[in-house]
Amino acid sequence: MSAKQQHPFHLVELSPWPILTAFSLLFVTLGVVFLMHGHSMAEYFSIFGGGAVIFCSYHWWKDVIKEGRVGHHHTEKVRMGLRIGMALFILSEAMFFFGFFFSFFLARFFPAGILEGLWVTGEGLWPPKGIQTFDPWDIPFMNTLILLLSGTTVTWAHYAITQNDQRNSVMALGITVLLGIAFTAFQAYEYHHAAFKLTDGIYAANFYLATGFHGLHVIIGTIFLTVCYFRAKNGHFIGGNGHLGFEFAAWYWHFVDVVWLFLFVFVYVLGR
């Protein structure tokens, strides 16, 4: 199937990676559930599942890259379908954060609610008594600047790729990856020095769920861009080879940037 496709359909060879990835994620889920219940097998399930996910993801991505570069399966019609799929995926991720923000705003504006018997909050009092919030103009503001700068560097990389400038595209992607790592490191430091824990009430639960889920997206986006960095070093995106993989990574990273701006304004600044 090495000849260039002439039809508009995304027909590729059968792959074992979707089903293997599904079972790997099942082991990760079981590990987390066992961990919550203090089961002795939790660590083994989590480590095996996590390692299997990484293994399957690596080979699955490798096959997708080969489909486009060697098999020439990614015709214009196929690329359009893949773009629609990525857009719908990002939209589904946005719905996750919509739910988190809805929960936060509900607790913020109506602090005495259905959880009053479990997590006591005073009427009109937010954050609840005993919660010492973060200073938004310290690490959160620094992380905001880091993500905004990373948005400019990933745009720089995109421009360099469109100009067939491999040197600058590699440099810009490398800087973006380092900025993503820096953001994660600062957030880990912030969590380590937090004055409240996940179990300290409805404010803490909403805070860690929203910011932690975003932090997970930053880690995934950093991995995505790291793959693009090594592909750019190998010249995959220049000379008319196409750059659909990088395009999706850039979309995802800009989504992460925008979500953080909402988190910074509504959770860190206005949520104090």
pLDDT at site 2: 46
pLDDT at site 198: 83
pLDDT in tens, 146-201: 999 999 999 999 999 999 899 999 999 999 999 999 999 999 999 998 888 888 77
Q: Which residue has the higher pLDDT, 222 or 10?
A: 222
pLDDT at site 145: 96
List of residues 6+ apart from 151 with CB closer than 8 A: 253, 254, 257
pLDDT at site 6: 62
Specify the range with the lowest mean pLDDT, choosing from 120-124, 181-185, 223-227, 252-256.
120-124
Of the pLDDT bands very low, low, confident and very high (cuts 50, 70, 90), residue 8 is: low
The pTM of this model reads 0.84
Which tokens is 38 given? 């203090």
Of the pLDDT bands very low, low, confident and very high (cuts 50, 70, 90), residue 1 is: very low
Encode 135-166: b = buried (16+ Cβ within 10 Å), e = exposed. Answer: ebeebbeebbebbeebbebbebbbebbeeebb
pLDDT at site 65: 82
User: Is the confidence at residue 11, as pLDDT, over 90?
Assistant: no
Q: By three-state DSSP, how is residue 196 classified?
A: coil
Q: By three-state DSSP, how is residue 81 classified?
A: helix
What's the angle, vertex CA 231, arms to CA 178 and CA 187, rounded to 5? 25
pLDDT in tens, 82-98: 899 999 999 999 999 99
Q: Which residue has the higher pLDDT, 67 or 104?
A: 104
Contact 208, 192 (CB under 8 A): no
pLDDT in tens, 19-36: 999 999 999 999 989 888
Write down the CATH number for the domain with range 1-74. 1.10.287.70
Cis peptide before 136 (omega within 30 of 0): no
pLDDT at site 4: 56
Helix axes 202-233, 166-192, angle to 10 degrees: 160
Q: Which residue has the higher pLDDT, 41 or 156?
A: 156
Separation CA 147–CA 128 (nearest Å)? 30
When pLDDT is averaged across residues 57-84 and rounded to a whole number, the result is 80
Domain 75-269 matching CATH 1.20.120.80: the answer reads yes
Helix axes 139-162, 244-262, angle to 10 degrees: 160
When pLDDT is averaged across residues 32-58 and rounded to a whole number, the result is 89
Label residue 137 left, alpha or beta by phi (over 0 means left) and psi (-120 to 50 means alpha): alpha
In DSSP notation, 35-75 reads: HHTT-TTHHHHHHHHHHHHHHHHHHHHHHHHHHHHTS----
User: Is the confidence at residue 250, as pLDDT, over 90?
Assistant: yes
Q: State the SS3 of 97-163.
A: HHHHHHHHHHHHHCCCCCCCCCCCCCCCCCCCCCCCCCCCCCHHHHHHHHHHHHHHHHHHHHHHHHC
User: Is the confidence at residue 56, as pLDDT, over 90?
Assistant: yes
If we measure between CA atoms, which residue out of 227, 209, 225 comes closest to residue 257?
225
pLDDT in tens, 198-248: 887 788 888 999 999 999 999 999 999 999 999 999 888 877 667 888 999
Of the pLDDT bands very low, low, confident and very high (cuts 50, 70, 90), residue 131 is: confident
The full set of domain ranges for the chain reads 1-74, 75-269
